Structures are given as structure tokens and as C-alpha cells.
Amino acid sequence: MENLDKDFKKLAKRSKIKRVILTVVISFVVLIGGALGIVTFLNARAEKNSQALYRAQSIYNEIATPNLVSYGEVASYGTFTSASSTSKYTKNIDGYQQSWGTLNFSVNTIFTSPIQYVGNNITQYNGGNYSTDTGKKIATFFTVGYTDMSGGSTARFDGGTGGITVTHEASTLKDMPKHLAEVAVTFDKPYSYDEIQKMVPKNLMINWYWIGLNAKKIDASSLPLYIGINSDLGVTAQTYKDYGLYDQPDNTVTLDSVGEWNNYAQFAMDVKAAKNYLTSFVPSDSGSSTFYLFEDAAKQIQKYPTLDKAKFAGVILTGRTENFANLDSQKWVYATNVGATTEVVPYIKPIK
């Protein structure tokens, strides 16, 4: 009987040891499995947010960079939880390429929303808008008929700085001989693509088309950015020139006839998708209302789904300063505002 008790105790002890070992093994497997599951989840989320970051960068560069071409995108991963990508920009001024700074896109790949806030940091000086990042003057558009600068009956969506008075700066360029200039032209009303080709003088290049605003009581001159589409010729003009292909006046080349970067169908798709990746907004002075630029642009695309139905509220033109002399006198011009300028040099011939 005594031996039986000893055997039973040994068996119980062995059984207990086996249960402990089994429990440890199961716990270890669950722990490893859980850890692998968490790592897999985090990797998937990081990949998703990283892809969203690069999509945001691509959309922004396509629809919100007036007369700018991005190049040299550099992607980097700071840590396991962060990613960033930087775009460098150049501006085409009648065939002269001018460096225009950089923009960094970054995201916490795991813990935050991948949606990027974008917009120029603007300061006002001598009645114009200037980038606080580059110190360069920004070609500015205006809202037709908007005259209330005090925030009275018309709400002023300006982030606290306000817009600027309507300008007619193209006429001042006569005092800058031997220069090239970039000028934002606000039309007196929206015009179709074909109408614009007939209106704009042949000795000026159309670089960019502004789709305008769906909202009517917004001061466009106070906005941090504009939505529109680069002219294919504006983007590729230097390539035409370099390879001896430039033998047509600007106005004979349609948006969809050259290249594939800036066709209107892709532009419309990018505008519709923008709110999923980008945000840019400005509060009213009272803070009671907020104007979201990309949502407003999507409403414009609903009205203008294709190029033949589209109407544009303004354009950015570039050319020799003397070719802007009579622009402000045209009946279709509501306002003109000068952006970048550069001196003509003898070893680079302007396109226009």
C-alpha cells in the first residue's frame, strides 16, 4: 500500500510537470503568434500609410502646383514608424527653368492619419503675396466682384491675414525691359479651353489653367493654394526646345495632345481622390466656418467632368515683359498679378 502511494505521488508529480511544461509551451506559442500577428498588422498599416503618403504627393504635384514641375522625389524612412518624401520644383518662365524650392511630405506610418495638410505659408508685402519659405512672390488669383476686405457681409476665409486688393500688374512690366515674367490672369468670367486659345495673344505661353472656386464668397487672393492643371506645352516646352521639336505656336497644342502627365481625365480623377489624401483649409475670422479647398475643387469637377465641358477661371501666362503691355486692357481680363521674373540672357532664347 505504501509503495502504491509512492507510485501515485510520482505519477502526479510527473503529470504536474507535464502540465506546467505544456502551459509554458502553449503560452510561448501564443506569445510568438501574437507578436507575429502584431508585427504583420503594423507592417501592413505602415505599408498602407506609406503608399497613401506617396499617393498624396503625386496628387498634390499634379493638381495644386501652379506652373511648377516636380522632379527628384526622394523617399526616406526615418524609423519603423515614420516615412517622408521630398519634392523639388522648377518653374517654367517662357523656356527658362527657375528653381522653386522643395516640399516635404511626412507621416507616422502607424499611429496617425496619412492625410497630408498642404498649403503655402504666405506673408503680405507691398500689396502682394510672398512665400515665407522661399521669399518669392506668388502669382495670385482673385474672386471676381469680391470687394469686402473687412470681413463684413461676406465672410473672409483668410486664416487671419486677409486677401490683397485686386491688382493690374501686367501693365507695370513695361518698366522691366529684357526680362521674362509669369503672370496670373483672373478672367472676368469662366471660359472654355477653346475660348482661351482664341483670347490669349500668340506671343504669350499658357502654362497653367485655374479651375476657380465653386464657393462664391471666398477671397481667392487669401487662399494658401490653387487647384488647376498644367498645360502640357508649359510642362514640356523646354523638352520641345532642347530636341528641336518646338515648331508650333502654343495655342495649337491641346491639353490632351502631348504626353500623358497632364491629361484632363487624369486630372479630374486626381481632384476627386484628393480629399482622401490631402487637406487644405482656412477658417473664417470668427472661426465659425471652414472652407476646404479640395472638397470645393471636387464640386468644380462635378460641373466640369471632361475637357470639352470644362471652364477655367484664370490662367498663368509667361513671356517677354513687352508682350504683356496690352493685357490689362483686354475685356476678358479681371485682374493680373505678377509672380516670378527673370532676366533674359543672350545664350538662352525664350520660346515665345
Task: Collapse the DSSP code of 197 into the 3-class scheme (helix H, G, I; strand E, B; otherwise coil) and give the result.
Answer: helix
Can you tell me the mean pLDDT for 339-350?
A: 93
User: Comparing 238 with 3, which gets the higher pLDDT?
Assistant: 3
Q: CA 227, 228, 233 angle in degrees (round to 5)?
A: 150
For 39, list phi and psi in degrees, rounded to 5: -60, -45
Instruction: Supply 122's cell numbers.
Output: 504666405
Residue type, 124: Q
User: For the segment 129-156, what is each residue's pLDDT rounded down to a tens digit?
Assistant: 888 878 889 999 999 987 654 443 333 3
Q: Say if CB 294 and CB 278 are below 8 A apart.
A: yes
Taking Cα atoms as reference points, which of 212, 211, 191 lies closest to residue 264? 211
Instruction: Supply 236's cell numbers.
Output: 514640356
Residue 352 to residue 101: CA distance in whole angstroms: 25
Non-local CB neighbours of 197 within 8 Å, separated by 6+ positions: 206, 251
Share of the chain above pLDDT 70, in %: 67
Task: Collapse the DSSP code of 210 into the 3-class scheme (helix H, G, I; strand E, B; otherwise coil) and give the result.
Answer: strand
Confidence tier at 264 by pLDDT (50, 70, 90)? confident
Instruction: Supply 94's cell numbers.
Output: 517662357
Confidence tier at 122 by pLDDT (50, 70, 90)? confident
pTM (2 d.p.): 0.80
pLDDT value of position 37: 67
Confidence tier at 292 by pLDDT (50, 70, 90)? confident
pLDDT value of position 255: 40
The per-residue pLDDT of the chain, averaged, comes to: 77
Please, which residues bridge with residue 181 across strands?
A: 319, 341
Grid coordinates 486677409 are at which residue? 162
User: For the segment 195-214, what is each residue's pLDDT rounded down to a tens digit?
Assistant: 999 999 999 999 999 999 99
User: Comparing 180 with 84, which gets the higher pLDDT?
Assistant: 180
The dihedral over CA atoms of 225, 227, 229, 234, expressed in degrees to the nearest 10, equals -20
pLDDT value of position 86: 83
Instruction: Supply 251's cell numbers.
Output: 495655342
Non-local CB neighbours of 45 within 8 Å, separated by 6+ positions: 109, 110
Question: Is residue 9 exposed (0-12), middle (13-18) or buried (19+ Cβ within 10 Å)?
Answer: exposed
pLDDT value of position 288: 47
Name the strand (E) or helix (H) holding 37.
helix 2-63
Instruction: Supply 177's cell numbers.
Output: 525691359
